[in-house]
């Protein structure tokens, strides 16, 4: 069990069910996805980090299940209700036509250059695991004692401040930035059209440059790791809702108490 800040804990299956049946804000998700300049694939992971998965999916608990055959977001939600995943994601790749790459055989892992591929949304991922904590040590040290994904509020707040600094830095290069609380850390999405078109070489160079100053996950920015947590979905390891934030929200943002990111099943229990 990973150690987490106060009030955060693994979601139970029945809580995931309640969330995806009643609380997932599909309209807000639709608005979020409006910036996408093509078609989007989704993905889910049944229970890789928590070990908790629906009985019928225990065998594929650690797998990434791709959702690329759906008619609308209502249907995507039905997949989430069916699988009750620990985590839900979208593929940052932008497809002209999802059905073209459904047949290309590369399972969307290496679709750069495919006829159905238009580009990839650029994103930056900052997590507390990449931050050194004076109490619990470096991420590597925490990994050694099986706490690789565990974190404390000190590491979280350090990641939060780093995210603001990175946002300010990126503002010099990009004009359309979005900020998301991911459940553990933060994502910055650069939605400028030019960023969609960056080559893999350009991404790699940018990732390396940024990683020198900020604790980002280089793989996400470089494009190797193309899945990003789905806004408005439930992060089943911490029982928090992944939500977009404004940069002005950041100074006082505390995921332990912020109502916007606390799912109903935790609010009900407090009363």
Angstrom distances, CA of residue 216 to CA of 13, 81, 114, 116, 224: 31, 32, 28, 29, 14
**Which residue, 18 or 129, has its beta carbon nearer to Zn ion?**
129
Smallest distance, Zn ion to C-beta of residue 152, A? 3
- Nearest to Zn ion of 98, 234 (CB atom): 98
Judged by CB, which is closer to Zn ion: 108, or 178? 108
Residue whose token pair is 């299956």: 13
CA 141, CA 119: separation in Å to the nearest integer?
37
- Site residues for Zn ion per CB under 5 A: 101, 104, 106, 111, 114, 133, 135-136, 152, 154-155
Q: Min. distance of Cβ 119 from Zn ion in angstroms?
A: 13
Give the shortest CB-137-to-Zn ion separation in angstroms: 8
- Using CA atoms in the order 86, 149, 158, 255, what is the torsion angle rounded to 10 degrees? 30
Question: Which residues are registered as beta bridge partners of 216?
Answer: 126
- Supply the minimum distance, in Å, between the C-beta of residue 135 and Zn ion: 4
**Comparison of 1 and 58: residue with beta carbon closer to Zn ion:** 1
Beta carbon of residue 114, minimum distance to Zn ion (angstroms, whole number): 3
Sequence-separated (6 or more) residues with CB below 8 Å from residue 82: none
**Angle (CA) 179 85 23, round 5°:** 65
Quick check: helix, strand or coil at residue 20?
helix
Nearer of residues 31 and 109 to Zn ion, judged by Cβ: 109
| Nearer residue to Zn ion within complex by CB, 57 or 154 | 154
221: tokens are: 């920015």
Nearest distance, CB of residue 130 and Zn ion, angstroms: 13
Beta strands 186-190 and 122-126 are antiparallel
């Amino acid at each position: 069990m990973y150690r987490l800040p106060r009030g955060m804990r693994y979601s139970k299956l029945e809580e995931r069910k309640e969330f995806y049946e009643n609380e997932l804000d599909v309209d807000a998700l639709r608005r979020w996805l409006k910036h996408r300049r093509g078609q989007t694939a989704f993905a889910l992971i049944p229970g890789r980090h928590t070990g908790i998965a629906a009985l019928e999916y225990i065998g594929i608990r650690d797998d990434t299940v791709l959702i690329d055959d759906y008619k609308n977001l209502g249907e995507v939600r039905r997949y989430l209700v069916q699988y009750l995943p620990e985590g839900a994601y979208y593929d940052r790749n932008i497809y002209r036509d999802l059905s073209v790459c459904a047949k290309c055989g590369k399972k969307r892992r290496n679709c750069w250059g495919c006829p159905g591929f238009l580009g990839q949304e650029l994103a930056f991922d900052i997590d507390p695991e990449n931050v050194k904590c004076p109490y619990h040590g470096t991420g590597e040290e925490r990994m050694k004692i099986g706490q690789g994904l565990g974190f404390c509020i000190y590491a979280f707040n350090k990641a939060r401040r780093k995210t603001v600094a990175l946002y300010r830095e990126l503002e010099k290069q990009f004009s359309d930035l979005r900020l998301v609380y991911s459940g553990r850390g933060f994502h910055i999405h650069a939605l400028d059209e030019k960023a969609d078109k960056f080559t893999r070489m350009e991404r790699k160079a940018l990732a390396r440059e940024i990683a020198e100053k900020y604790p980002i996950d280089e793989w996400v920015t470089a494009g190797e790791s193309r899945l990003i947590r789905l806004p408005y979905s439930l992060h089943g390891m911490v029982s928090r809702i992944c939500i977009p934030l404004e940069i002005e929200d950041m100074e006082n943002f505390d995921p332990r108490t912020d109502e916007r990111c606390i799912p109903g099943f935790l609010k009900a229990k407090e009363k």
